[in-house]
Amino acid sequence: MIQAGVIGATGYAGAKVVSLLCAHHQAHIAYLGSHSYVGQTFSSVYPAMLGVCDQVLQEDDLVKAASQCDVVFLALPAGIAAAEVTQEILANTVIIDLGADFRLHDGAVYQAWYKKPAPTSEMLAQAVYGLPELHRDAIKRAQVIANPGCYTTTSILSLAPVMHLVKPQSIIIDALSGVSGAGRGEKVASLFCECDESAKAYGVANHRHTPEIEQELSLVAGSPVMVQFTPHLVPMKNGILATCTAELLPGVTENEIASAYQKRYGDEPFIRLYPSASAVESRFFTDTNTVGIGWTVDSRTGRLVIVGSLDNLYKGAAGQAVENMNIRFGFDETEALAKFSL
């Protein structure tokens, strides 16, 4: 049994980590930190957890949490983890950061997109990008695990197997997200009456998940990849659906594509392949750690259309974070994580 802490436990992603840990057989919650609700019980903020998690929320104090925990999950706005995670903390604790600060290997890229100081290159060098399907072995030894973003996980996992079969500069990703992706902040734009019965694009040409997608796809492709990424908000609580369009290299067959997916994901516990792009619906993955992927070749246009989908708070955030903990501490990778739900 390890001791786990969560800093930023009352945001949607942090709270989901708490909820998953409550059902985990090998981790015990030792510390819950919150910015806005210090001194209140977790269940007073999330009454769905009444009688399940009535722990009192403490300050968002990483040093204190680290002193009591084997692993600390960070669910914080950009910039805080970069400033607060130190070598001393890492000496005793594994950090799983659900934020962006340690995801980009190049600090300059981080600063350009986030307008905040990046972690030092020494710190960045210790961080592993926590996408198990790509970096499982490194995660096992990592002291800082940079948990990927929700759009990012969907996009990278959808495209990684076929990067050698498409033109790397032709990738267009139009992705749809449920509203929980915008967080629990008190913003007019997140009100029910502003989101319900409406769809919109946002962050056009400048969404911060773009460089993350490009970093990882470039690594897979072995050459620099630049993508056109346009996220959209649609009126549902949870879920990401990413439609990825790319030009096929000449002569690529459907069999080659199918083999590529099968080869890379045949043994993955949390990836489910669907027979076509239209067969994937985001609700299939709600409240699970599973990613669904389907694809269709448009022989008329010579393009491949891939649809990937997951639950943004689960595999897109908290579930993947717990998966990373499971890998890092040698637990069953699927412990406390749902593979399906109906």
Of 312, 322, 318, residue with least CA distance to 282: 312
> Three-class SS of residue 43?
helix
Size of the site for a second copy (CB under 8 A): 80
340 binds a second copy, rule: CB under 8 A: yes
Taking the C-alpha atoms of residue 230 and residue 175, their distance in angstroms, rounded to an integer, is 6
The answer to whether 181 touches 314, Cβ cutoff 8 Å, is no
Shortest distance (Å) from residue 79 CB to a second copy: 23
109 binds a second copy, rule: CB under 8 A: no
Catalytic center residues = 150
165 binds a second copy, rule: CB under 8 A: no
125 binds a second copy, rule: CB under 8 A: no
Q: Which amino acid is at 284?
A: F
Helix (H) or strand (E) holding 303: strand 303-310
Q: Which stretch binds a second copy (CB under 8 A): 99-107, 136-144, 290-298, 320-328?
A: 290-298
298 binds a second copy, rule: CB under 8 A: yes
CA-CA distances (angstroms) from residue 273 to 132, 141, 268?
17, 29, 10
Shortest distance (Å) from residue 317 CB to a second copy: 13
Nearer to a second copy, 147 or 282 (CB): 282
Q: What residues from 208 to 237 belong to the interface with a second copy (CB under 8 A)?
A: 226, 228, 230, 232, 234-237
Which of 71, 124, 277, 291 touches a second copy (CB under 8 A)? 277
Shortest distance (Å) from residue 243 CB to a second copy: 5
Per-residue binding letters, 80-99, with a second copy (x by CB under 8 A):
--------------------
CA-CA distances (angstroms) from residue 266 to 78, 135, 155, 259, 263?
35, 16, 18, 10, 6
319 binds a second copy, rule: CB under 8 A: no
CB atoms closer than 10 angstroms to residue 255: 8
Taking the C-alpha atoms of residue 7 and residue 65, their distance in angstroms, rounded to an integer, is 8
Shortest distance (Å) from residue 15 CB to a second copy: 6
Q: Which amino acid is at 137?
A: D
342 binds a second copy, rule: CB under 8 A: yes
Shortest distance (Å) from residue 10 CB to a second copy: 10
Q: Which stretch binds a second copy (CB under 8 A): 68-76, 81-89, 156-164, 299-307?
A: 299-307
> Three-class SS of residue 241?
strand
The answer to whether 326 touches 270, Cβ cutoff 8 Å, is no
Q: What residues from 5 to 34 belong to the interface with a second copy (CB under 8 A)?
A: 12, 15-16, 18-19, 22
Taking the C-alpha atoms of residue 76 and residue 99, their distance in angstroms, rounded to an integer, is 6
Which of 39, 50, 120, 125 touches a second copy (CB under 8 A)? 50
Q: What residues from 239 to 268 belong to the interface with a second copy (CB under 8 A)?
A: 239, 241, 243, 245
Nearer to a second copy, 86 or 228 (CB): 228
167 binds a second copy, rule: CB under 8 A: no
> Three-class SS of residue 52?
coil
Taking the C-alpha atoms of residue 53 and residue 150, their distance in angstroms, rounded to an integer, is 26
> Three-class SS of residue 115?
coil
